[in-house]
Structure 1
């Protein structure tokens, strides 16, 4: 049966008081940066760190007493897993989760901490789903899809009701697409509340399953994306049928877009976003002309990113902005040479982070050495000034 707005309203009542109502805030900084009027819904502030709680709780609340006794099984890269595990534990329902090899540790540990049985199996979500189906048949569990389920979709649609209650003047919603549960539910709810609102989806370039299906193409999916939460090879049949007529366009973003969005949420909004969670901002940054002057709502749908990966992303963004620069210098290998280079860099205000001293490169004279000096700078212009100061002192830069 199709999911209706009445189903989403019923889900809102069913889960009321058991799931946090996450805040919606206008972002002056992101508005200035993009030229749109930007509102963000901070679903990363749910207890388990993502939007998945609404759908998981709604679906679990609809189980029969016998189904509750038998327990549920699901395949998930992490956020659906944690939501099911947490609310299953609260309701006394056994939960088994199959996760792909390589799922971020923070999501694996979080799922186990909520009391679920975790099985690591398969190279990707598809293989994990097959194993979950096998466990369903073997143990009599109820399979709960991460997205392709009417109860899940109805629960996820509550996000849009909350968003439009708090920001009723929105012109646009931009929503990440993996299996399609969030965009399906939110599209139904948003269009029922405000028929002229425009819905845009976001996919990772490595996993364009929704847009490929819309275009009648076989999706070419695969690769290690930072947006692993939406790394789904095949959008759900139920979710595609529901969302396709309501979604105006699907914007496909590259890895750099997701990385930049994660970094901007951290530096400008002082909040943590995982790659998939930052998808709406990634699309806005990649296509600012599509939304300039519009009132745009972004669902920051998850914040479960490994601390190490967050550090990598932030450092990579500093490299892109040339706030971290490696100066490769060919010089004589004599006592004190490093200190004189450091003095030049310090005099111009650069902060040396790391030095690699290479005497064995065969394209360097036997009496010379190559120095890779990593320097923290204020911006690209400052990096150029440091490079010019080194050249003025006679140092040959092989790379800047």
Structure 2
């Protein structure tokens, strides 16, 4: 088992490569939740995520022969970038296998940090299989993304920083993918402040930790499906699982819509960008996935900010939909002058702002004298949407909500 001394040693190894990231009090989220919320902004870390810590610590422990042979790893993106930069700075050749559908931004960044990238597999597990083949074929050292004590120790330096900057912390909320991050942080927190809670968070579409804890042994999912690609693993690690069992107080899950809303909140209210995995901890707090007291000091770890721009666009739209600020509807109008004007009078009465209108006279199922209309609207919230739709239907319009 990893111990506090391992993390204290790792702090000395990673000090020059990783940043001591900010920990900031959030008036916004404290007001929203009633708790005393401080954000650990690890999305400001070099390479945009915490992975540089574990990668730096692991590479620093390689023997000379291992350094000569080089390293190989598998990653959905953040570990790839961390290994690439850490290896380049320490003069070690790195080859990294990423899933075929890894975000383009993460693939480009990994190459820019100096590593050779191999794209193979539909997810992390299949990429890892290819990486182990390269390990055997080329004699490289495999650097596991999470299931390695030196990697866990490096990630655990975040816990030391949280305690340095917020010694009054009562609850630390941490994402779980394979479990390396939470194993390290929980070891640091429990080692220095045993009474503090550590809450783990997974995406609903990649939730293996909670069933594993319930069963008492690791559960492997058949597949994963979540916007939080950084924690989209089928199972927690063999080495990380005992740390989660012993040192994590509770594991909860959040849905993709809740993750999207947390991302949008952070963009709009905190002016900070996070990826899906970086938002799950805050989502768990905002949607009260675990019990906490009024005024309790809570630190959600925003573990990464490397979100693909296409994904970010979709997430923003999804977040606006969930908060009742974007609406897309379809209805059928009589294809004659004044029909659209009559419809728009209702929009004006409700102050619904139009993004776009699309007419389609050729749609199947629409009578020859009718036209189908799709309209995208900016709204002011769920109540506004409900009142608007009710008024449209009361006026005789058959309305389908598309988004």
TM exceeding 0.5: yes
Question: Is the aligned partner of 1:283 residue 2:273?
Answer: no
Q: State how many pairs are aligned.
A: 398
Kept after mapping to 1: 8 A contact 2:29/2:286:
no
Question: Is the aligned partner of 1:359 residue 2:357?
Answer: no
Match of 2:75 in 1: 76
Q: Which runs of 5+ in 1 are unaligned?
A: none
Match of 1:39 in 2: 38
Q: For the structure 1 residues 204 and 289, does the alpha-carbon distance in structure 2 shift closer, same or farther, using more than 3 Å as the test? A: closer
Q: Which moved more, 1:346-355 or 1:181-190?
A: 346-355
2:332 paired residue among 309, 330, 333: 330
Match of 1:370 in 2: 372
> 2:111 aligns to what SS in structure 1?
helix
Kept after mapping to 2: 8 A contact 1:209/1:221:
no
1:383 paired residue among 381, 385, 390: 385
Question: Is the aligned partner of 1:4 residue 2:6?
Answer: no
Q: Following TM superposition, where does structure 1 have runs of at least 4 consecutive aligned residues deviating by more than 6 angstroms?
A: none
Q: For the structure 1 residues 359 and 23, does the alpha-carbon distance in structure 2 shift closer, same or farther, using more than 3 Å as the test? A: same
Kept after mapping to 2: 8 A contact 1:72/1:144:
yes
Question: Is the aligned partner of 1:236 residue 2:237?
Answer: yes
Q: Which moved more, 1:308-317 or 1:278-287?
A: 278-287
Q: Normalization by structure 1: what TM-score?
A: 0.94
Kept after mapping to 2: 8 A contact 1:172/1:297:
yes
1:190-269 correspondence to structure 2 within 5 Å: 190-216=189-215, 218-269=219-270
Match of 2:15 in 1: 16
Whole-Å Cα distance in 2 between the matches of residues 71 and 63 of structure 1? 10
Q: For the structure 1 residues 136 and 391, does the alpha-carbon distance in structure 2 shift closer, same or farther, using more than 3 Å as the test? A: closer
Q: Which moved more, 1:286-295 or 1:229-238?
A: 286-295
| Residues 15-55 of structure 1, C-alpha deviations (whole Å, 9 max, x = no match) | 21321110000111111122221111000001200011111
Q: CA deviation at 1:328?
A: 2.9
Q: For the structure 1 residues 76 and 248, does the alpha-carbon distance in structure 2 shift closer, same or farther, using more than 3 Å as the test? A: same
> 1:206 aligns to what SS in structure 2?
helix
> 1:215 aligns to what SS in structure 2?
helix
> 1:39 aligns to what SS in structure 2?
strand
1:312 paired residue among 311, 314, 327: 314
Q: CA deviation at 1:339?
A: 4.2
> 1:245 aligns to what SS in structure 2?
helix
Kept after mapping to 2: 8 A contact 1:41/1:300:
yes
| Residues 85-128 of structure 1, C-alpha deviations (whole Å, 9 max, x = no match) | 01211111101000112111111111011110000111121111
Question: Is the aligned partner of 1:398 residue 2:399?
Answer: yes
> 2:46 aligns to what SS in structure 1?
coil
Q: CA deviation at 1:295?
A: 1.2
| Residues 127-184 of structure 1, C-alpha deviations (whole Å, 9 max, x = no match) | 1111111101111111110111111011111000001110111111111111111111
| Residues 222-275 of structure 1, C-alpha deviations (whole Å, 9 max, x = no match) | 233101111111211111122311111110222222212212111121111111
Q: Normalization by structure 2: what TM-score?
A: 0.93
| Residues 57-82 of structure 1, C-alpha deviations (whole Å, 9 max, x = no match) | 11111112221111110010010000
Whole-Å Cα distance in 2 between the matches of residues 221 and 33 of structure 1? 37
Q: Which moved more, 1:56-65 or 1:218-227?
A: 218-227
Kept after mapping to 1: 8 A contact 2:257/2:322:
no
Superposition RMSD in Å = 1.9
Question: Is the aligned partner of 1:168 residue 2:167?
Answer: yes
Match of 2:352 in 1: 350
Q: Which runs of 5+ in 2 are unaligned?
A: none
Q: For the structure 1 residues 124 and 378, does the alpha-carbon distance in structure 2 shift closer, same or farther, using more than 3 Å as the test? A: same
Q: For the structure 1 residues 186 and 358, does the alpha-carbon distance in structure 2 shift closer, same or farther, using more than 3 Å as the test? A: same
Match of 1:299 in 2: 301
